[in-house]
Structures are given as C-alpha cells and as structure tokens.
Structure 1
C-alpha cells in the first residue's frame, strides 16, 4: 500500500478533457481566484478571505492506515496543484453554509503553460482515486461528470478503490452481514426485485428477506424530485442500480435516497 501511495503522489494528473465552457458543470459563471492554502479539511482558503469547499467529494477519513495515508496523499496532491495558483471558482448557489464555506466547483490548469487545458479539480481527484463522489444536493449539477470520473478510478482499483471498504456492497443475500457496522457513506449495488409502498414511503427491495437483502427507502415527499429527473422508483423492478448514502439498520439494512444524485441505473430498461 505504501508503494501504491508513493506512486500516486509521484504520478501526473490523470488526463481529463478540458472543462466545458457552458452547461450545468462548466466554466460558466466561474471567476478567477487565488488559493492561499488548503486546510486539513480540504477547504480552499482564498487570498481574498473567502473559504470554499469543493462540493461532491468525500475524502478518505483521518483514521488508521491506509485511510490516513490516502488522505495525506489526497491533501498533498491538491495542495501541490493549486496552492499559490490562479484557479477558477464557481459557487453552487449564492449562500455560504453554516460553517461559512462557499460550496463550489473549482477548475485549474493542468500545467504551467498558457496553453495548458483547464480541467475540473473535483473530477481530477475522483479520476485519480483520491476521493469518492458524495451526492451533496449542491453538487447535483456535476453528478453525471463526477460519477463518470469516479467510475474510471473504481474500475481500475486506483487509489482508495484498492480498499475493499470503499467499493460497492452487493445488495443480495448476505448484504446485512456485509453492511453491519458500516459508518459514513456506503455504496450499495444490486437488482431491484420488488417495490413496496406505505402511506408515507416507497421501498425498493433487493430480495424477499428485507432484513438480510437490504432495501432503498424513498419518502413520498421526495418522489417528485426523482420523477422530475426521469427516475420513477416504481418502474425499477428488475433493474440493476447503485445507490449511495448512510446505512440505517433499525428495520433491516437500508439506505434512504432523496435526490437523483444518490441513485444510478446501471442498465437500460428491457425493450
């Protein structure tokens, strides 16, 4: 693992296409800024006094090795890339969060030359396996781009994806045992076998035994949000999906979702 982390630090950024000029996750509305420092929580401290947090990224936790070592690698990579450099920052929304940070997306050139392409900092860190996509509501415009970048690292078992705890848990038989004690964001992947409904909730079940197979919970008040994005939970029977969120264990392992950024449909509907 130490060898892999050393290689990660020594390697150049993974090649990404230049950032789009327009669209929901683009340079549009991004303004020049200079990064004075990246603090221990990965906040960008700008030289004009503002603090920005790159929305949609979950960095390795400051726990025991190897997570601690991966977190240090991610911090070193980000700091060495953007501190003291002019970047472009675009706020998600107009307000700071309760900690005084500006939820944002950031873009930076890949090199020192004037012709160096400008790429998404968040997508680069995801593609290098230094972070996972976290479905923050503010990052929803970048969800598709970030998930695509993350998939490249996950499929190559690059960076944090070399660790079994970071990879998706299969939601079929035995999922309860695999999910026991899970803390923080978990990725759950499986085929929906049935849909159940109550007055307040829609349940997407991965098997007949909810206590063993896991399920996805959608509160009815959030159905319209998913349907507006083209996702109707009631039509997902037989479909392979991946969800991400916090595991609740009180009524069998389940993950509640409330936005389209938290669920990926991994195959097309049957003709």
Structure 2
C-alpha cells in the first residue's frame, strides 16, 4: 500500500466504490513495475511506504510517484500523512483532477459523504471518509474545537481537533467562530463519539470550499 492514498474498503456501504477503485488501479498498474521504499508493516499486516511506478512499455517517465498516479486515475482518496506540504499539494491536486473528470470512484455519488446526514456518516464508522457540508455550529472547550454539521450536537456528525492544533491546521487568520456557516470538506476515519466524528490532526484534513475563504476573510476583517 503506497503512502498518501487510501483505497475504498470492501466494507464500504456502496459496493460500487471498491469495484471502481480496483478497476482504476489495474488500469494504472497493468504492465508497470512497482517499487516500495522504506516500507513498514502496518497494524493490518500490510506493507506500507512511499512507492514509485515505472511503465517502460508505455514510454512513461521513470519512477512516477505511485500514489499520485493512482489518485489521478480515481483509485482512491488523498491521505495527509507526514509528507511535506509540496507532496500533499500535488496529491490533493491529482485527486481534484480525477474528481473533475469523474474518473474511477468519482463517477459514484457515494464517493463523497454528506456531512449533514448523521445516518450516512454513522454507517461509515471505522472507514476513511471524505465528507462535505456546512458547519452549523463551531465552538469548543479548553482543550478541543468542535465543528457540528447538524442541529443535535450529541448525535450529528462532528469534526474535532485539539485546540493547540487549530492554528497549524487552519492557519493563523481564522478563529473557530468564523467557520460557522461555511462549507467545508473533511477527511479521515469516522469514529463514534456519541455521534459520528472525525478527529482532525494535520493540515489537508479540512479544506474550505468555494467561496468559504472569502467569507472567512470578511469575518476576520469585521472582527478587527
């Protein structure tokens, strides 16, 4: 398994997703050589590490980044890890290209979960998920920030992060309250915290969607 990408699990609520991912991945890997460097075995017994792809039969450039190639084909989701920001940006861009072209998993409506639908999020418990929706409430405690996507904060889907991580993840120009009403995308493993939730730990796991950046900027200026 190359670092930087998550392929849909066969446990996905929509069986079309792993089928589409497998088809897209085979289209990339067919007749190519694959290498994994500095690999380690993860908790599921899978070999994981940075990967490269060489396809001499296709006259392709040598040693293409494997995760990026799979993402461009629509085989999976970009996963922010410990890689540098430039590498993350490249992989997120590859995912966006595939989504725009509706390649692979992005031809399926279920590829993106509706963050405001608590049942749709709950059935994804334990699975890596990309979800999008409007933040209805934003606040927190001394230690954590909570972004709620429904009217019942004990049951609805929530994105959480440690308060000390907020500036690293969101940037110095934002405050939690400024996210109220904005459209966002979050990614990570859904877990049960009363209701379904994703814990955000690093940049790239949350993104403001079209128009949200401008509204947040106006909110910042209005509070100055």
- TM-score by structure 2 length? 0.73
Report the secondary structure of 1:130's partner residue.
coil
Larger radius of gyration: 1
Q: Which residue among 75, 89, 102 is the counterpart of 1:144?
A: 89
Residue in structure 1 matching 2:200, options 223, 247, 257? 257
**Alignment size in residue pairs:** 207
Cα distance change, pair 143–130 in 1 and its aligned pair in 2 (3 A): same
- Partner residue, 1:240: 183
Q: CA deviation at 1:259?
A: 0.6
- Structure 2 gaps of 5+ residues are 219-224
Shift in Å, 1:96: 4.4
RMSD of aligned C-alpha atoms?
3.3
For 1:18, the equivalent position in structure 2 comes to none
- Larger CA deviation: 72-81 vs 120-129: 72-81
User: 1:81: Cα distance to partner?
Assistant: 4.3
Distance 1:190 1:247 in 2: 15
Q: How does 1:13-162 map onto structure 2 within 5 Å?
A: 53-62=1-10, 66-67=16-17, 69-83=19-33, 96=40, 101=47, 103-106=49-52, 108=54, 112-113=58-59, 116-117=60-61, 119-138=64-83, 141-162=86-107
- Classify the secondary structure of the residue corresponding to 1:261: coil
Query: Whose RCO is larger (CA < 8 A, sep 6+)?
Result: 2
Q: Which residue of 1 aligns with 2:142?
A: 199
Measured after TM superposition, the shift of residue 163 of structure 1 is 3.0
Q: Which has the higher helix share?
A: 2
SS across alignment from 2:93: helix
In 2, are the aligned partners of 1:59 and 1:132 still within 8 Å (CA)? Answer: yes
Hey, what does 1:222 align to over in structure 2? Answer: 165
Contact kept, 8 Å, 1:243 with 1:264, in 2: the verdict is yes
- The alpha-carbon deviation at position 213 of structure 1 amounts to 4.3
C-alpha distance after superposition, 1:10-44 (max 9, x if no partner): xxxxxxxxxxxxxxxxxxxxxxxxxxxxxxxxxxx
TM-score by length of 1: 0.62
Alpha-carbon deviation of 1:192? 2.3
Cα offset for 1:244?
0.7
Task: Choose which of 121, 125, 140 in structure 2 pairs with 1:179.
Answer: 121
Unaligned 5+ residue runs, structure 1? 1-52
Q: Structure 1 CA distance, aligned partners of 2:142 and 2:20? A: 44
- For the residues of structure 1 that align with 2:74 and 2:203, how far apart are their CA atoms? 23
* Cα distance in 1 between the residues matched to 2:130 and 2:145: 20
